[in-house]
Amino acid sequence: MAIASTIPTLEFGTGFFQETNTIRLFDDCSCYNQVATTPAQLPRMLQAALQHAVHQKGVAVIGLPGDITDLDAVEAVTTSSLFRNQPVVRPSENELLQLAELLNTNKKVTIFCGLGAAEAHKEIIQLAEKLKAPVAYSYKAKMAIQYDNPNEVGLTGLLGFPSAYQSMHECELLILLGTDFPYTPFMPVKNKIVQIDIKPEKLGRRAKLELGLCGDVKDTLQALMPWVETKEDSTFLTDQLEVYKEVKETLQAYILDPGKPNAIHPEFVASVINELAARDAIFTVDTGMCCVWAARYIDGTGQREMLGSFNHGSMANAMPQAIGAALARPGQQVIAFCGDGGLSMMLGDLMTIMQYKLPVKIIVFNNRSLGMVKLEMAVAGILDHETDMLNPDFAKIAEAMEMPAFTIIDPGEVKPVLEKALLLEGPVLVSIQTDPNALAMPPKLELEQMKGMALYMGKMMLGGRMDEVFKIISSNYKHLREVL
Residues found near ligand TPP in the complex (CB under 6 A): 286-290, 313-315, 339-342, 365, 367, 369-373
Tell me the C-alpha distance between 141 and 305, whole Å.
Answer: 10
Question: Using an 8 Å Cβ cutoff, are 99 and 110 in contact?
Answer: no
Q: How far is CA 188 from CA 106, 169, 274, 473, in A?
A: 16, 5, 32, 34
Overall residue count recorded for the chain in this entry: 484
Query: Could you tell me the sign of the dihedral formed by the alpha carbons of 224, 225, 230, 234, in that order?
Result: positive
List the single partner that 197 binds among Mg ion, ligand TPP, none, CB under 5 to 8 Å by kind.
none
CB of 232 to ligand TPP, least distance (A): 47
Q: How far is the CB of 310 from ligand TPP (least distance, A)?
A: 12
Question: Interaction with Mg ion in 199-258: which residues (CB under 5 A)?
Answer: none
C-beta of 287: minimal distance to ligand TPP in Å? 5
Please identify, using beta-carbon distances, which residue of 178 and 339 lies nearer to Mg ion: 339
- Shortest distance, position 369 Cβ to ligand TPP, whole Å: 5
Asked if 371 interacts with Mg ion (CB under 5 A), we say: yes
- Which of 295, 253, 241, 288 shows the shortest CA–CA distance to 132? 241
The verdict on 468 binding Mg ion (CB under 5 A) reads no
Judged by beta carbon, residue 124 or residue 370, the one nearer ligand TPP is: 370
* Residue closest to ligand TPP (Cβ): 339
Q: Among residues 314 and 352, whose Cβ is nearest to ligand TPP?
A: 314
Q: 369: which DSSP letter?
A: B
Tell me the C-alpha to C-alpha distance, in Å, between residue 146 and each of 117, 121, 296, 367: 12, 9, 12, 29
Q: Smallest gap, in angstroms, from Cβ of residue 388 to ligand TPP?
A: 10
- In Å, what is the CA distance from 100 to each residue of 104, 136, 261, 309, 346? 6, 20, 57, 36, 51
315 binds, options Mg ion, ligand TPP, none, Cβ within 5 to 8 A by partner type: ligand TPP
Q: Which is nearer to Mg ion, 179 or 367 (CB)?
A: 367
Least distance in angstroms from the C-beta of 160 to ligand TPP: 18
Instruction: Establish if 367 lies at the interface with Mg ion (CB under 5 A).
Output: yes
Contacts of 280 (CB under 8 A, 6+ apart): 301, 303, 304, 332, 333
> CA separation (Å) from 156 to 15, 187, 316?
49, 9, 24
- Other CB atoms within 10 Å distance of the CB of residue 429: 27
- For ligand TPP, give the closer residue by CB, 72 or 386: 386
Distance CA(49)–CA(55), nearest Å, equals 10
Residue 317 interacts with, from ligand TPP, Mg ion, none (CB under 5-8 Å by kind): none
Nearer to ligand TPP, 197 or 435 (CB): 435
Amino acid identity for residue 8 in this structure: P
The binder of 372, among ligand TPP, Mg ion, none, by C-beta within 5 to 8 A per type, is ligand TPP
Q: Which does 212 bind (CB under 5 to 8 A by kind): ligand TPP, Mg ion, none?
A: none
Does residue 384 belong to the site contacting Mg ion (CB under 5 A)? no
* Amino acid present at 52: H
Contact between 319 and 343 under an 8 Å Cβ cutoff? The reply is yes
Cβ distance to ligand TPP smaller for residue 134 or 411: 411
Task: Write out the residues near Mg ion by the rule CB under 5 A.
Answer: 339-341, 367, 371
